[in-house]
Structure 1
């Protein structure tokens, strides 16, 4: 009786060129991964520094993008804003600042243009007659728009809370959604229930 012959097991063979290629690919993959790990924090730091100086990072030009530019001083606020083109953009101002939402009607408004990147500055300054106003400054705008001389918050008769859009990071918003840039609310303690004095600045593509 003849015994079955077991064929010898063939071990896989790799050429030296294949081994070099595999080693190179693995080394490249590791290098890319390590570089990504190193660049990630640097990208975040670069983005943070860009925000601090008011540089916008616009990934979607169809949205409104806003970043606040920090300035020393009191009642002084500044924003860098990307406005999608093809719309009439308006800044609305009100001496009423409800806790939620926006007033039905603005106390004053200013046309901001039809799109692009703009810088908007809002600050409280005395006019020539000594009365303090909220001034707006931007391309084609440099005027007092809202008298605030007799307000409780400006004269220290009440505590205030302030919310500034884009202060911590860049904000993106839908083109048809009104966006509050500044909400300055007076403390309502000891005041009537309908008391909503403050300062509200918002951006919209409609009057």
Structure 2
């Protein structure tokens, strides 16, 4: 009887310890997500975690690219493929985008559209690696391209990875949507396949 009680207590202690460890791991993962840290569980996959930059018209992601894999950061600020497409069917018109090669490893990608000193819209792209090295680029954005995006007169649809959501993993070789922001006139039924907006994504480079 004493041996039986000892075994029961041992099993109960093991189960309680296992639960506490599981709960601690879940809490740690939640805190890492909230503070913008990636958890690389499978180094052969691409990881993306959206970070809150606390600034309007600014988006930020922590990205992990497996060693040796080649990707480009692509962006469009004008004619965006229809929002009706499901995430796995999204069109990625790389031939019409600006695309910039990015290195492998863990990166912090920041994209923003802000007014410059001459009150013109400018698109800014900053990529920082794990060693703190940065590369940045900027170019002008036409007022007519920005108008539908910032106007309250347009219905806007968004897809992608947003701050506050969990990190996601993707198989190598797939396009990874970061953000798709598309404006549609609120009083008109739009049937065109492309309308004004923004779109940022990671695209694998063919070898």
TM range (shorter): 0.7 to 0.9
Structure 1: give runs of 5+ residues left out of the alignment. Answer: 1-13
Q: Is 1:154 matched with 2:150?
A: yes
Extract structure 1 runs of 4+ deviating beyond 6 A: none
Is 1:118 equivalent to 2:107 in the alignment? yes
Q: Does 1:165 align with 2:161?
A: yes
User: TM-score normalised to the size of structure 1?
Assistant: 0.79
Query: Aligned partners of 2:153 and 2:73: how far apart in 1?
Result: 27
Give the count of matched residue pairs.
Answer: 188
Superposed CA RMSD in Å reads 2.4
SS of 1:137 mapped into structure 2: strand
1:126-157 Cα shifts (integer Å, max 9, x gaps): 23443212211113421215625322113444
**Alignment partner of 1:109: what SS?**
strand
The alignment status of 1:74 with 2:56, answered yes or no, reads: yes
For the 8 Å contact 1:97–1:103, the answer to whether it is kept is: no
* CA deviation profile, 1:51-98 (whole Å, cap 9, x unmatched): 111111111111001111123221111111110111222100012332
Shift of 1:32: 1.4
Structure showing greater relative contact order (alpha-carbon pairs closer than 8 Å, 6 or more residues apart): 2
Give the TM-score normalised by structure 2: 0.79
Contact 2:158/2:180, CA 8 A, preserved across alignment: yes
Matches for 1:40-189 after TM superposition, within 5 Å: 40-95=22-77, 96-98=79-81, 99=83, 100=85, 101-104=90-93, 105-113=95-103, 115-139=104-128, 140-145=134-139, 147=141, 149-151=143-145, 152-165=148-161, 167=163, 168-189=165-186
Distance in 1 between residues matched to 2:92 and 2:203, nearest whole Å = 13
Structure showing the higher helix proportion among its residues: 2
